Amino acid sequence: MDALPEFEALRDAAREIREHTLAHLDHYLERFEKRARKQGASVHWAASAEEARRLVVALCKEARATTVAKGKSMVGEEIGLNAALEAASLEVIETDLGEYIIQLAKEPPSHIIAPAIHKTREQIGDLFFRHHSGKGFQRRANEARELVAQARAVLRSEFQRADVGITGANFLVAESGSTVIVTNEGNGDLSNTLPRVHIVLASIEKVIPNYEDLSTLLRLLARSATGQEMSAYTTVSTGPRRNDDRDGPDAFHIVLLDNGRSEMLGGDYHEMLRCIRCGACLNHCPVYNAVGGHAYGWVYPGPMGSVLTPLILGLGEAHHLPNACTMNGRCQQVCPMSIPLPELLRKLRRREFGERIQAPRARAALWLWSFVARRPRLYHTLARAGVVLLKRLSGNRGGFRSFPFAGGWTSERDLPAPEGDTFQARWRRAGRRLS
C-alpha cells in the first residue's frame, strides 16, 4: 500500500462502486442473469443455504457425477456444501492446498484466505504421511517444497477424473455475465476447465457493473489480502465451452445465494455487504491473532465474522462474538472497503442488550458498571480502593488463579493484579511534573 500513492483514492472509488451497486442491486443482478444466460450459462437462485445445497446436489446428480473437484469457496463453507455432497454419495476433493489440508484433518478453515494457517509443517507432514502413503509416497516429508510437490502429484489425477468442478466467485461482472476468481494456485483454473460441468457458487452482493470497476477492485484485493500487487491468477469465466474452444466445461451453472443478504440491504448493517473477503481485518485484529479462527465457531472469523455470523445465523446463537472485541479500530483502518466494523459491532451489542439476549447476571453487571461510570467521583473513588485492595489480596503473586465472577477468565489464565496507582493518579502526577 505504501508503494501505491493513490491507494486512498482507489479505496474511495471502490467504496463508491460497491455502494452504487448495492443501491441498484436488483438491476445489476437482473442484468448479470440476462447476460450470463445469453452466453449459455444456467442461472439458479437460492434464498437459503438449504436451497443452495439442494440445487448443487441436484445439478451433480443430473450430470451423473461421482467425483467433484472443488475450488476454495467461503460460500461453500457457509452453506455446508461438502457434507451435503458426501451425503449424496459424491466424492469431494478440495483442490486448494490449504483447503485440502484441513479436509484431510477434518477441520473447518481458521482463516478466510489461508484456511490451514494454524497448521505447522510437521502437522501437515503427519497428515500427508497418513493419507499419501498408499499413493506411492513412503517417505515422510516436512519441508514446504516437498509437501507442495506431494499435493500437486496427488491432486493432478483428481482434476482429470472429476465429473464436476465447483468454484466460488470473487466478483460477478454484470455487463458480460462473467464470473471472476482470484487465486494464487492453478487449482481454480483446473477446477473450472477440466470437468465437463462447472458450477459457480456466489452470494448476490458479489455483482459489480463492469470491467473498469473490476480493475479498481482488483488493485485493492491482493494488496489487502496477501500483500501482493496482484494475485498470480485472475480468471474470468463466461459461459460454457464453445465449438472453437480448446477446453472448458460442456455445462456452466451459476448458483446465486441470498441467505440473509437481502435483509441486510439498506438496513443498519448494510455496509457489511461491501466486504470483498480480503481478510485484512483478521490479519490486524489482536483478538483474532490471540485466539485463532476456530474460536469464533463458524466459517467467518475475526471482525468481519463477528458482524456477519450474528446476521446470518442469528444474534441469539452468536451474540458472544460482538463482545469479543477490544474496539481498537484497527480493522476499520485497514479495510479496503472502509467498512466501519467497530460501529457495526457496537450496534450488535446495543441490539443484544435491547433484546435481552444476555444472561440476567451479565445485564445486572452492565447496569451496575454504567451506574458507576456515569458518576466520575464515585468511579475514581472505587477504582483507587480497588487497586489498593487487589494489590494487597494478591500478595507477592502478581495475580489471581481464581476470582469471584471471573471464572471464565481464570479457568484458562491468571488474572493480573494491579502493580501501581490508577491511570488518573499517574496522569495527575505527570501533569504536576510538567508544570
Long-range contacts of 91-94 (CB under 8 A, 24+ apart): 91/66, 91/67, 92/68, 93/67, 93/68, 93/69, 93/155, 93/158, 93/162, 94/70
On whether both 182 and 81 belong to a single domain, the answer is yes
Nearest CA-CA partner of 109 in 143, 84, 144, 76 = 76
Candidate from 172-186, 333-347, 406-420 with smallest mean pLDDT: 406-420
Pairing, β 399-400 against β 415-416: antiparallel
pLDDT at residue 423, rounded to an integer: 86
Tell whether 120 is covered by a domain: no
Report how far residue 388's alpha carbon sits from residue 418's, in angstroms, rounded to the nearest whole number.
Answer: 8
pLDDT at residue 431, rounded to an integer: 84
On whether both 17 and 93 belong to a single domain, the answer is yes
Query: What would the grid cell of residue 103 be?
Result: 479436509
On whether both 250 and 303 belong to a single domain, the answer is no
The residue assigned the cell 451433480 is 60
The three-class DSSP label of residue 337 is coil
| pLDDT tens digits for range 136-145 | 898 899 899 9
Tell whether 392 is covered by a domain: yes
On whether both 249 and 321 belong to a single domain, the answer is no
- The pTM of the full predicted model, rounded to 2 decimals, is 0.90
Instruction: Choose one of 228, 259, 290: the last residue of a domain.
Output: 259
Residue 314 backbone class (left: φ over 0; alpha: ψ -120 to 50; beta: rest): left
On whether both 401 and 271 belong to a single domain, the answer is no
The residue assigned the cell 504421511 is 129
pLDDT at residue 361, rounded to an integer: 85
The three-class DSSP label of residue 92 is strand
Report whether 275 contacts 304 (CB < 8 A).
yes
Domain count, the chain: 3
pLDDT at residue 194, rounded to an integer: 95
Query: What would the grid cell of residue 142 be?
Result: 516436512
CATH, residue 170? 3.40.50.10420
On whether both 395 and 294 belong to a single domain, the answer is no
On whether both 340 and 403 belong to a single domain, the answer is no
On whether both 61 and 171 belong to a single domain, the answer is yes
Query: What would the grid cell of residue 229 be?
Result: 500487487
Nearest CA-CA partner of 355 in 327, 319, 322 = 319
Q: What are phi and psi of 250, to 5 degrees?
A: -75, -30
The per-residue DSSP string of 278-342 comes to --HHHHT-HHHHHH-GGGG-SS--HHHHHHHHHHHH-HHHHTTGGGS-----HHHHH-TT---HH
Tell whether 243 is covered by a domain: yes
On whether both 341 and 388 belong to a single domain, the answer is no
Report how far residue 304's alpha carbon sits from residue 276's, in angstroms, rounded to the nearest whole number.
Answer: 10
Query: What would the grid cell of residue 398 be?
Result: 502478581
Q: Average pLDDT of 277-291?
A: 96
Residues 6 or more apart whose Cβ sits within 8 Å of residue 377: none
Report how far residue 79's alpha carbon sits from residue 260's, in angstroms, rounded to the nearest whole number.
Answer: 12
Residue 198 backbone class (left: φ over 0; alpha: ψ -120 to 50; beta: rest): beta
pLDDT at residue 396, rounded to an integer: 72
Report how far residue 59's alpha carbon sits from residue 416's, in angstroms, rounded to the nearest whole number.
Answer: 57
Residue 75 has pLDDT above 80, yes or no: yes
Q: Give the residue numbers spanning the domain of 91.
A: 7-101+162-259
Mean pLDDT estimate for the chain:
94
Instruction: Choose one of 205, 240, 259: the last residue of a domain.
Output: 259
pLDDT at residue 393, rounded to an integer: 86
| pLDDT tens digits for range 311-359 | 999 999 999 999 999 999 999 999 999 999 999 999 999 999 899 998 8
